[in-house]
A and B are shown apart, each in its own frame.
Chain A
Amino acid sequence: MSRPAVSIQSVSKRWTPEGRAPVLALDNLSFDVAPGEFIVLLGPSGCGKSTLLYMIAGLEEVSGGTIACDGEPVTEPSAERGLIFQEASLFPWLTIADNVAFGLAVQHVQPVKRREIAVETLKRVGLGDMLDKKPDELSGGMRQRAACARALAMRPKVLMMDEPFAALDVQTRARMQDFLLQIWRDSGASILLVTHSIDEAISLADRVVVFTSRPGRVKTIVPIDLPRPRESRDPRYHAYRDLFTELLADEVDRAFAEQEAV
């Protein structure tokens, strides 16, 4: 077997907010992501999913354990590990093409080459005719695709997405999921995607990592054995949905019970 793209071993994270008691956000988390695998992270609010992505990205330090990508321990951010946020966070002062070329500019790639890569990447995400538009001239879905293009232009090995479609309407969301699967196939990158939507998890994932409520641990990992494209009419799809609903309900109940006990 090949080396895991991301290897998370006994990782924990303790936040120490100023003037308040420390919070254990993640506790002894372990799992591996295979190269080219599509992982969805599912869990109750506040269980540390975003925190985990930030640590894999190298934006936050782990409090314990190790995270390695391609065998190398993560010590600082790298464009090989792209991160996409719920809000597209494109720079409003750059055109779409310049936004996509931002990482290349930072790394001193020649302007002509930069433009070439940006154009090509934007074509891949279906924004070939939006090159010189301003970000706020685009719809939410287009902005999110441009943000994908910005990450993809750096040829990442791992693409992380923190609730990327949560702010989009239902129709756009469905289109974006198809779009993402296509991107995933032709980039060959591993994807780690956080979502609150059980349907999104079932439609996209190779494996779904279900978290417990805070402190976040791995409750269980569920492989989705359904051929793509996945049909929501499939009875097995329903079985998965029931399974995840039950798993999450447990955790949400537990979280509420704890809050009342405090």
Chain B
Amino acid sequence: MTADAGQTRLGEAGAGRPAPKIKPPLLSPALRRRLSAIGWGLISLSLFAGLWEALWFFGMLNPLLLPPPHLFLSDIPGTLKFFDRSNRIGSVASGVGVWPLLFTMGSTTLRVLVGLTLGFTCGVAVGAAIHYVKLLRNLLLPTILLLAPISPVAWLPVAIFVFGIGDVPAIFLVFITVFFAIVLSTGAQIESVPKNYIHVARIMGASQRQTFWKVILPAILPSLFMTLRLNLFAAWMVVLIAETVGVGTGLGQITSMARSTFNAKLVFFTMAIIGLLGFLSDFALRQVQNKMLWWIAPNQGAAR
């Protein structure tokens, strides 16, 4: 009888045949995954745009109300002039260039960024203070629980009464969007830090302060980042609302103007820009997350 391949008898373990050579793949797996993601993204977008264009082509859409992409993207210089800085609702400025557009995008993005940063840091600070200081907990928690479910949009009038017209009300609205969520999440997350982590810190002789900075904060950071990302899109929504009413510059103001002047092309152009910015900011936040929370595998997310 011939011995079957793959069978090991006593005494001959490890008598190996040469392993079959594996050809190295042309592209690294990570690169392949990225390319395929981009590919599918393009396909998905073209499908959407194609459908839209087809409906227009067969005359099923009124191009004045729902202009398809090739229309609202074709007249870019014409559209750009609406972004001029000196522009106010109803007037069309003469200056044409890409800078006003970038300025508008930049100011909206900056408001989101500042609001998120402030909301995140203040949220963690207040959440931790409430967790550790009993007096603060008793004083603040009931009010916070009452205020948390109020939609940020409802704060808009308050923001304008208090801060007037300008950047601040928009930033404040973004702040409100993340602040309460982070406060509540911080408390809950500190509660659920594994007891053994705290035990290790105590045995090693860590002070309260060291325990917080070296153990508790890194332990809760992944979930807090997740909360932040979940609220990112909400932050983009409220900043636009604030801009239509309380600021007078930014993408929200442009949309509002486009609506009141019945400029459908401008509406869709701005929507495309907003979509792009929202996507890019989520992407950027993911990059920050991967850098700061290096110990969590990227595809694992921070869903812990």
Whether chain B is bound by chain A comes out as yes
Show the binding face of A for B, using Cβ within 8 Å: 57-59, 77-79, 81-83, 85, 87, 89, 91-94, 102-103, 105-107, 134, 136, 150, 154
Q: Which residue of A lies closest to B210 (CB)?
A: A106
A73 to B203 alpha-carbon distance, docked (Å): 16
Contacts A89-B194, A134-B295 given; indicate if A59 touches B204 (C-beta within 8 A): no
Contacts of B47 in A (CB 8 A): none
Which one, B199, B210, B295, contacts A93 given CB within 8 A? B295
Q: Which residue of B lies closest to A160 (CB)?
A: B203
Q: Which residue of A lies closest to B296 (CB)?
A: A92
Nearest 8 interchain pairs by C-beta? A103-B204, A89-B196, A93-B218, A106-B206, A77-B202, A77-B203, A93-B295, A106-B204
A103 to B296 alpha-carbon distance, docked (Å): 23
Show the binding face of B for A, using Cβ within 8 Å: 194, 196-197, 199-206, 210, 214-215, 218-219, 221, 293, 295-296
Which one, B200, B293, B295, contacts A102 given CB within 8 A? B200
CB distance from B278 to the nearest CB of A (A): 29
Which one, B202, B206, B214, contacts A59 given CB within 8 A? B202
Contacts of B218 in A (CB 8 A): 91, 93
Contacts of B210 in A (CB 8 A): 106
Contacts A105-B214, A106-B214, A134-B295 given; indicate if A91 touches B206 (C-beta within 8 A): no
Which one, B201, B204, B295, contacts A92 given CB within 8 A? B295
Contacts of A81 in B (CB 8 A): 203
A102 to B293 alpha-carbon distance, docked (Å): 18
A78 touching B295, Cβ below 8 Å? no
CB distance from B207 to the nearest CB of A (A): 8
Contacts of A134 in B (CB 8 A): 295
B203 touching A82, Cβ below 8 Å? yes
CB distance from B210 to the nearest CB of A (A): 6
B199 touching A83, Cβ below 8 Å? yes
Contacts of B202 in A (CB 8 A): 59, 77
A81 to B205 alpha-carbon distance, docked (Å): 11
Contacts of A107 in B (CB 8 A): 204-205
Having A89-B194, A94-B295, one finds 13 other A-B pairs with CB under 8 Å, namely A59-B203, A79-B204, A85-B199, A89-B199, A91-B197, A92-B296, A93-B219, A93-B293, A103-B203, A103-B204, A106-B205, A150-B200, A154-B204
Contacts of B214 in A (CB 8 A): 102, 105-106
Contacts of A136 in B (CB 8 A): 295
Query: Can you give 8 A-B contacts (C-beta < 8 A)?
Result: A59-B202, A59-B203, A91-B215, A92-B296, A94-B295, A103-B205, A106-B201, A106-B205
A184 to B190 alpha-carbon distance, docked (Å): 36
Contacts A85-B196, A87-B196, A93-B295 given; indicate if A102 touches B204 (C-beta within 8 A): yes
A154 to B204 alpha-carbon distance, docked (Å): 8
A38 to B282 alpha-carbon distance, docked (Å): 55
A57 to B196 alpha-carbon distance, docked (Å): 13
Which one, A79, A87, A92, A105, contacts B203 given CB within 8 A? A79
A77 to B204 alpha-carbon distance, docked (Å): 8
Q: Which residue of B lies closest to A89 (CB)?
A: B196
CB distance from A23 to the nearest CB of B (A): 19
B205 touching A79, Cβ below 8 Å? yes
B203 touching A57, Cβ below 8 Å? yes
A91 to B205 alpha-carbon distance, docked (Å): 16
Contacts of A93 in B (CB 8 A): 218-219, 221, 293, 295
Contacts A89-B194, A89-B197, A106-B214 given; indicate if A83 touches B203 (C-beta within 8 A): yes
Q: Which residue of A lies closest to B207 (CB)?
A: A106
Contacts of A82 in B (CB 8 A): 203
Which one, B200, B203, B221, contacts A78 given CB within 8 A? B203
Contacts of A87 in B (CB 8 A): 196
CB distance from A128 to the nearest CB of B (A): 21
- Name which of A57, A58, A89 has the most chain B CB atoms within 10 A of its CB: A89
- Name which of B204, B221, B293 has the most chain A CB atoms within 10 A of its CB: B204
